[in-house]
Structure 1
Amino acid sequence: MRFNPKARLDAGQVRDAGSGGGGGLGGGGMRMPIPGGKVAGGGGLGLVLAIAVFVLLQCTGNGGGGGGLALDPSQLQVAGGSASNTGRYDSCKTGQDAADNHDCGRVAVVNSIQDYWGDTLQSAAGVRYQEAATVTFTGAISTGCGQASAAVGPFYCPAPGDMKVYLDTDFFDEVLVRQLGGPPGDFVEWYVLGHEYGHHIQNLTGQMGKVRTQKGRNSDAVKLELQADCYAGLWVHNAVNTDTADGEPLFLEGPTENDLREAIAAAQAVGDDHIQKVSQGRVNPDEWTHGSSQDREQWFRTGYESGDYNACNIWSS
């Protein structure tokens, strides 16, 4: 996609918390079994497998001695959440900045995703969209869902009082590319941001409350992840029609074939079967929490090719 150099960016939708202290997943029921174990030479890849589990355990009240599997916001932590801001995005003013600088591109993409859902969600689902900030960090961060290590990877925290997307900016090179063999390229991150904001949509619409089973090829956890992939594709389809607050288009052109190849390759790289092959040398569908590479590609394509919110209703498919 080509950014519109005249577009005025809203840098307030993204902030950077800098380098956090501590490490690991501590406190508040944040510890959970990590399926898949570790890769030789490092444990980061095993933690990637826990991204969906991390979100699900926090949003279903089953993260440690909690109740049943239905969504119960009262059981989520509200405390935490980093209030710091390093000013990393203060210079991101225009679409030209987005074209010249990856950080500013991140701001433009978040602006676009939120403009799309702000224009779409009420008519599509009868729910008013609530903006959700993106917080970047390195090392570790305190969130409304507890302390999170950078090794967890990108995630969305649905806790009341938080409801933000969290992104370790080293994840893509250190884990996705080096450990999982995924593709480099800007659009890889844009797909991931679309996916994480898909979880925000699921939270706003109550679809997280449909989760009853958390592991397995046909589990609700996998459906939740695949639907978020569909929502990412939905945004990509409609991104060229998104605007700034003053009505200026954020993009002059839609996604290129290379953009789509990067997004699909990223979706395939984080499929459970691929991660298990890399980390264990074998595939066990009973442990899946995200879906296979093929399914993740399929649901991204469903959103992108249809451009239709209703096409992402995985619960009835």
Structure 2
Amino acid sequence: MRFNPKANLDTSRTSDRGRSGGGGLGGGLGGGSVPLPGSLKAGGGAGVVIVLLVVLATSCLGGGGGTGGVGGAGLDQIFGQSAGTDVSRMAGEDSARYASCKTGEDANSSVDCARVAVENSLYAFWDDEFTAQGKKFRPAVVNTFSGNVSTACGAASSSMGPFYCPADQQIFLDTTFFSDVLEGQLGGQGGDFVEPYVLGHEYGHHIQNLLGTMNKVRTQQGADSDAVRLELQADCYAGMWARSAAGLAGDDGVAIIEELDRSDISEALDSAKAVGDDRIQQRSGGKVNSDGWTHGSSQQRMNWFMTGYETGSLKSCDTFAARTL
């Protein structure tokens, strides 16, 4: 993956909340277990199993991905918050972590600036997609943090993994997740396109929020559940963006990402494989039990990412209309 050195980066939608005090939801990953959201049981094991519930996705700390036990209330009401609530500054003061990110050249030499460039590309892609449909697009905000963070969906800790909160339409992630959990605990191979895939998936949840798709979720667990369909669709949306990312121009008309090759797609697929429900159950020492799935199997996650990548079509990503996943 290579960024265009001439691209101008917009840091207005990327912020860092630093390290917050106080306890977040759940405990540490590593040796102990984290309390499961709601009453959901993940199929045995501690620590890494919890990632099944939260990795790459679960809106509002589990709500949007169908793991938080929101029941029939719908996903526009989570933790007592409305998806339209404007609490954009709830997470705390910006640490100015991204202040030095000015150009694509910075993105080529800095992981932090690369994050900004990926956000810029995701914004450009989905803004174009919504404009083509005659719809107004509202961008998500990408927040990094360390330790704990306060959101409109409640307090969260690093152990929750990356997540999207529909109540404030923001994405949250502790960047140590990629080395500590995705590679260290789940056995992913890593690579420079792993985080873009994760951001693409989380941004996919934002798109679902804007389109009202989250309100379709009624069943929260199982291989054919609405929760799994929601997660696989977010993978498909990530694939849609990846298909068009190379050469996609920002507001200044200059391409943001200069090159994205097959090795980048391979890294995305490897990450999708690593966070499949079946893979996580196996690595935790438990049996594969599809009744406990909330995100889909490794193969399903890879398949739906490739569906988005190969078709570039919102219609093709309609997992809720699919007879088989």
Specify if TM > 0.5.
Answer: yes
Indicate the SS of the match to 1:97: helix
Mapping 1:11-22, distance limit 5 Å: 11-22=11-22
Mapping 1:239-278, distance limit 5 Å: 239-253=245-259, 255-278=260-283
2:181 matched to 1:175?
yes
User: Which runs of no fewer than 5 residues in structure 2 stay unpaired?
Assistant: 27-35
Contact 2:66 2:221 in 1 (8 A): no
CA pair 115-73 structure 1, distance change in 2 beyond 3 A:
same
2:52 matched to 1:49?
yes
Say which is worse superposed, 275-284 or 54-63, in terms of deviation: 54-63
Percent identity of equivalent pairs:
52
Question: C-alpha separation between the residues in 2 aligned to 1:61 and 1:50?
Answer: 9
2:307 matched to 1:302?
yes
| Structure 1 or 2: more helix by fraction | 1
Code of the residue aligned with 1:95 in structure 2: it is G
CA pair 61-250 structure 1, distance change in 2 beyond 3 A:
closer
Cα deviation, residue 63, structure 1: 5.0
Question: C-alpha separation between the residues in 2 aligned to 1:57 and 1:11?
Answer: 28
Question: C-alpha separation between the residues in 2 aligned to 1:98 and 1:150?
Answer: 24
Alignment match, 1:103: 112
Code of the residue aligned with 2:228 in structure 1: it is V
Indicate the SS of the match to 1:68: helix
Contact 1:34 1:50 in 2 (8 A): no
Alignment match, 1:71: 75
Question: C-alpha separation between the residues in 1 aligned to 2:223 and 2:37?
Answer: 23
Alignment match, 2:8: 8
Question: C-alpha separation between the residues in 1 aligned to 2:202 and 2:44?
Answer: 24
Mapping 1:1-317, distance limit 5 Å: 1-25=1-25, 31-32=37-38, 33-39=40-46, 43=47, 45-51=48-54, 52=57, 55=60, 58-59=63-64, 63=68, 68-73=72-77, 75-76=80-81, 81-124=90-133, 126-159=134-167, 162-253=168-259, 255-317=260-322
In the superposition, the TM-score normalised over structure 2's length comes to: 0.88
Q: Which runs of 4+ in 1 moved over 4 A?
A: 59-64, 77-80
CA pair 218-276 structure 1, distance change in 2 beyond 3 A:
same
CA pair 120-276 structure 1, distance change in 2 beyond 3 A:
same
Indicate the SS of the match to 1:230: helix
Question: C-alpha separation between the residues in 1 aligned to 2:276 and 2:66?
Answer: 25
CA pair 168-60 structure 1, distance change in 2 beyond 3 A:
closer
Cα deviation, residue 121, structure 1: 1.8
Contact 1:194 1:235 in 2 (8 A): yes
Code of the residue aligned with 1:91 in structure 2: it is S
Question: C-alpha separation between the residues in 1 aligned to 2:265 and 2:176?
Answer: 22
Contact 2:228 2:295 in 1 (8 A): yes
Cα RMSD of the aligned pairs, angstroms, is 2.3
In the superposition, the TM-score normalised over structure 1's length comes to: 0.90
Q: For 1:24-58, what per-residue CA distance to the aligned partner results, in whole angstroms no more than 9, with x for missing partners?
A: 417xxx9424514444xxx2x13212215564854
User: Which runs of no fewer than 5 residues in structure 1 stay unpaired?
Assistant: none
Question: C-alpha separation between the residues in 2 aligned to 1:4 and 1:16?
Answer: 24
Cα deviation, residue 127, structure 1: 3.3
CA pair 306-63 structure 1, distance change in 2 beyond 3 A:
closer
Cα deviation, residue 59, structure 1: 4.8
Aligned residues: 306
